[in-house]
């Protein structure tokens, strides 16, 4: 009899869970799809996850636990949604403490922006109301005294992963849901705060503005490309026939490059923020010298088209990007034709009078032998080597041959779309180890991983823009400053007090290792590695 009564109440649990789900996802639905104030979406996995979580909540017997979980959900989501609506990007765990210490300022700013944020607050009130209403009117639902066990397990998944994987694994994803970003940011905040190192006391950068020197800047950010395996830079195999053909073109310049980091996500973050000094993370928080920000200030329309996961653009300043497209937007086309899909995306951009376009490649990420399926007519080497290093180098060289073909198509398309006053820059996020000292891959703090190409090509503009790039050693930092300068924003970093520059490790918020280096007689000279805590201890 009792069992029957319990079963008959299951539909009430379902009603409760549905209302909680609607409440949680309402802000994303309204602000993301209808008002388009946030860039968020509701992926199907998020929907199912929230629904499952809500079902669990509906079975909780302990009233205090229920109030605690629902209360935390409301509090964290309120912080997230307001932050996102105001700044244009999901909250980062580093900014969470600020929310609690600067409440006065936040209330003042919030009230001054009522006319902009009222819809956000209205939908939040509706969201909170729906969750509370859902719990309130379903008092007859079934409860289970053990339901807290799976609930606690579910709640600890992200914090545990955060602990195991470290802060860098939980970067924000601006086109995912608010709840996805909230669980990650807050888990990282709770779990990893003690590991983080305070930014040393660096002086702020200063930016001086003048009329932009060029109307269009296109930056192609490559993937895992090391210059020492490119024929253009002297490698034995003829794997860059197109780039070789530009060698004597006055509109073309190339140099040896040094990347700012050894991982994709960190290199992008450091590059777009013109980052130089070890541990200078406050620069990233404040976006003082962020290239997208400077571009917007100078009247450029800003674009990012990436063949990779949007998460890699965490903290690169995409709140200053007018059009952001990532792998998930062109998934099918990428699967069919590889990175040539990016050229299709480029073709359909709604360009403006002045444009700053970033094209982010997927090739030549591992596995290198996958690229030879594209354009077999390029004549890839089919040689098979017994030792791992030679085989890896052969496959890598083939991938570079594909890359060279891609570059040719891309430049042709840019010439068509932006035939006047355009400068194209190319560099790679980081390089690659291919058996040097029996090491492979990237992410390792080894000099070869920072070896990247830097080249530039001018289309109907003054080739003098390239003078400073010819036969030089150009770091990501140098290149970012150069690009800022072309857009009319001169970046001055008062902390540039020595000839040294730095390659940073993949994790920049903890006590990380960095590699100092300097330019000497046309060569890059590396010094002993150091740790950031030594700088902060001073
Ligand atoms: Zn990469």
Strand partners, 422: 216, 459
- Which region among 49-53, 134-138, 428-432 has the lowest average model confidence (pLDDT)? 134-138
More confident residue, 534 or 164: 164
CA 104 to ligand 1 centroid distance, Å: 41
In angstroms, what is the span from residue 535 Cα to ligand 1's centroid?
28
Residues 6+ apart with CB under 8 A from 199: 279, 280, 281, 282, 283
How confident is the model at residue 92, as a pLDDT? Answer: 82
Quickly list H helices, 166-240: 178-192
Q: Can you tell me the distance from the alpha carbon of 314 to that of 172, in angstroms, rounded to the nearest whole number? A: 6
Q: Copy the structure tokens of residue 75.
A: 């509090």
Distance 198 CA to ligand 1 centre (A): 26
pLDDT in tens, 455-495: 999 999 987 777 777 878 999 999 999 999 999 999 999 99
Q: Kindly indicate the confidence band of residue 2, based on its pLDDT and cuts at 50, 70 and 90.
A: very low
Residue 503 C-beta-side C-alpha neighbours within 13 Å? 32
CA 243 – ligand 1 centroid, Å = 22
Query: How far does the centroid of ligand 1 lie from the alpha carbon of residue 308, in Å?
Result: 10
Question: Distance from the CA of 267 to the center of ligand 1, in angstroms?
Answer: 8
How many CB atoms are closer than 10 A to CB 496?
14
Domain 206-537: CATH superfamily is: Alkaline Phosphatase, subunit A (3.40.720.10)
Q: What is the pLDDT of residues 114-138, one digit of tens each?
A: 777 889 999 999 999 999 999 999 9
Give the residue-averaged pLDDT of 516-525: 93
Tell me the average pLDDT across 349-357: 97
Contact 531, 189 (CB under 8 A): no
The pair of three-digit structure tokens given for residue 310, joined into one six-digit string: 């949007």
Angle at alpha carbon of residue 253, lines to 219 and 342, rounded to 5°: 30
CA 430 / ligand 1 centre spacing (Å): 6
Q: Are 497 and 517 in contact (CB under 8 A)?
A: no
Q: How many C-beta neighbours within 10 Å does residue 61 have?
A: 13
SS3 breakdown of the chain: % helix, strand, coil, rounded to 5?
50, 15, 30
Interval 190-240: pLDDT, tens: 887 777 778 888 999 999 999 999 999 999 999 999 999 999 999 999 999
> Between the CA of residue 271 and those of 263, 367, 476, what are the distances in Å?
12, 25, 6
Q: How far is the CA of 379 from the centre of ligand 1 (A)?
A: 26
| CA 450 to ligand 1 center in whole angstroms | 11
Please state, as a whole number, how many other Cβ atoms lie within 10 Å of the Cβ of residue 216: 26
Alpha carbon 378 to its chain's center: 32
- Tokens 């017994």 map to which residue? 386
In 3D space, the residue among 137, 207, 188, 92 whose CA is nearest the CA of residue 493 turns out to be 207
277 C-alpha to ligand 1 centroid (Å): 21
pLDDT(322) > 90: yes
Residues of the chain within CATH 3.40.720.10 domain(s) are 206-537
Q: How far is the CA of 139 from the centre of ligand 1 (A)?
A: 52
The two beta strands, 422-428 and 501-504, are unpaired
pTM (2 d.p.) = 0.82
Pick the closest to residue 514 from 285, 260, 210 (CA basis): 260
- 219 Cα to the center of ligand 1, angstroms: 16
Ligand 1 centroid, distance to 91 Cα (angstroms): 24
Ligand 1 geometric centre to CA of 224 (Å) = 5
**What spacing in Å lies between the alpha carbon of 215 and ligand 1's midpoint?**
29
- C-alpha 248 to ligand 1 mean position (Å): 30
51 Cα–ligand 1 center, Å: 35
367-394 pLDDT, tens per residue? Answer: 898 899 999 999 999 989 989 999 999 9
How many whole angstroms from 360 Cα to the centroid of ligand 1? 10
3-state secondary structure 308-368: CCHHHHCCCCHHHCCEEECHHHCHHHHHHHCCHHHHHHHHCCCCCCCEEEEEECCCCCCCH
128 Cα–ligand 1 center, Å = 41
Q: How far is the CA of 324 from the centre of ligand 1 (A)?
A: 19
- pLDDT tens digits, one per residue of 71-126: 999 999 999 998 888 777 788 887 787 777 667 767 777 777 777 788 999 999 99
> How many A from CA of 270 to the centre of ligand 1?
13
Give residue-wise pLDDT tens across range 250-298.
Answer: 999 999 999 999 999 999 999 999 999 999 999 998 999 999 999 999 9
Quick check: 142 and 9 in contact, CB under 8 A? yes
The average confidence (pLDDT) of the chain is 91
């Amino acid at each position: 009899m009792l069992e029957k009564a319990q079963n008959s109440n299951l539909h009430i649990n379902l009603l409760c869970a549905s209302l909680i789900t609607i409440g949680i996802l309402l802000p994303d639905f309204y602000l993301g799809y209808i008002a388009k104030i946030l860039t968020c979406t509701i992926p199907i996995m998020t929907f199912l996850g929230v629904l499952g979580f809500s079902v669990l909540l509906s079975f909780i017997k302990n009233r205090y636990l229920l109030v605690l979980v629902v209360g935390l959900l409301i509090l964290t989501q309120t912080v997230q949604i307001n932050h996102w609506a105001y700044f244009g990007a999901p909250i980062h765990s580093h900014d969470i403490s600020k929310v609690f210490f600067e409440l006065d300022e936040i209330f003042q700013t919030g009230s001054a922006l009522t006319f902009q944020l009222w819809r956000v607050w209205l939908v939040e009130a509706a969201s909170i109301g729906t969750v509370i209403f859902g719990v309130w009117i379903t008092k007859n639902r079934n409860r289970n005294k053990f339901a807290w066990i799976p609930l606690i397990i579910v709640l600890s998944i992200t914090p545990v992963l955060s602990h195991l994987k470290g802060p860098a694994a939980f970067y924000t994803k601006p086109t995912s849901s608010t709840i996805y970003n909230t669980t990650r940011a807050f888990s990282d905040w709770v779990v990893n705060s003690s590991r983080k190192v305070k930014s040393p006391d660096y002086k702020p950068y200063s930016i001086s503005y003048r009329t932009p020197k060029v109307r269009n800047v296109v930056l192609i950010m490559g993937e895992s490309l090391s210059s020492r395996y490119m024929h253009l830079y002297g490698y034995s195999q003829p794997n860059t026939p197109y780039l070789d053909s530009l060698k004597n073109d006055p509109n073309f310049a190339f140099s040896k490059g040094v990347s700012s980091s050894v991982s994709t996500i960190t290199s992008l973050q450091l590059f777009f923020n013109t980052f130089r000094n070890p541990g200078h993370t406050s620069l990233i928080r404040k976006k003082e010298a962020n290239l997208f920000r400077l571009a917007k200030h100078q009247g450029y329309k800003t674009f990012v088209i990436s063949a990779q996961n949007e998460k890699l653009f965490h903290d690169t300043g995409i709140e200053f990007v007018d059009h952001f497209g990532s792998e998930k937007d062109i998934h099918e086309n990428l699967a069919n034709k590889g990175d040539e899909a990016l050229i299709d995306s480029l073709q359909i951009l709604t360009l403006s009078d002045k444009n700053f376009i970033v094209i982010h490649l997927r090739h030549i990420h591992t596995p290198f032998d996958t690229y030879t399926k594209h354009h077999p007519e390029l004549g890839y080497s089919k040689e098979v080597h017994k030792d791992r290093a030679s085989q890896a180098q052969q496959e890598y060289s083939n991938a570079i041959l594909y890359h060279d073909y891609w570059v040719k198509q891309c430049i042709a398309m840019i010439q068509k779309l932006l035939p006047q006053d355009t400068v194209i820059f190319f560099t790679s996020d980081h390089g690659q180890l291919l058996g040097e000292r029996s090491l492979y891959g990237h992410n390792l703090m080894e000099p070869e991983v920072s070896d990247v190409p830097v080249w530039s090509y001018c289309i109907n503009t003054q080739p003098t823009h390239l003078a400073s790039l010819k036969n030089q050693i150009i770091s990501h930092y140098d290149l970012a400053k150069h690009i800022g300068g072309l857009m009319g924003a001169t970046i001055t970093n008062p902390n540039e007090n020595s000839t040294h520059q730095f390659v940073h490790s993949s994790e920049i918020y903890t006590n990380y290792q960095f590699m100092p280096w300097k330019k000497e007689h046309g060569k890059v000279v590396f010094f002993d590695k150091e740790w950031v805590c030594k700088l902060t201890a001073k």
